[in-house]
Amino acid sequence: MSRNKELGRKIRLMRAINANRRVPGWVMMRTARRVTQNNKKRSWRRNTLKL
């Protein structure tokens, strides 16, 4: 990708980066480990983003 991106695309990329994280530890503690994994986690090799 080019270095200079439109603001909208940059915001969408940052949102995808922030959403691609594991569940925080405090969430696991609060839910008594019923929620242990993020089912929206994405791999850069497997899935592509529609931007």
**Class at the top of the CATH hierarchy for domain 1-51:** mainly alpha
* Average pLDDT score over residue span 38-43: 95
* Residue 43 reports pLDDT greater than 80: yes
**Which of 3, 2, 38, 33 minimizes the C-alpha distance to 18?**
38
pLDDT, mean over the chain? 94
* Average pLDDT score over residue span 16-41: 96
Residue 36 DSSP class:
-
Using CA atoms in the order 38, 5, 11, 13, what is the torsion angle rounded to 10 degrees? Answer: 0
pTM summary value:
0.73
Residue 1 has a pLDDT of: 59
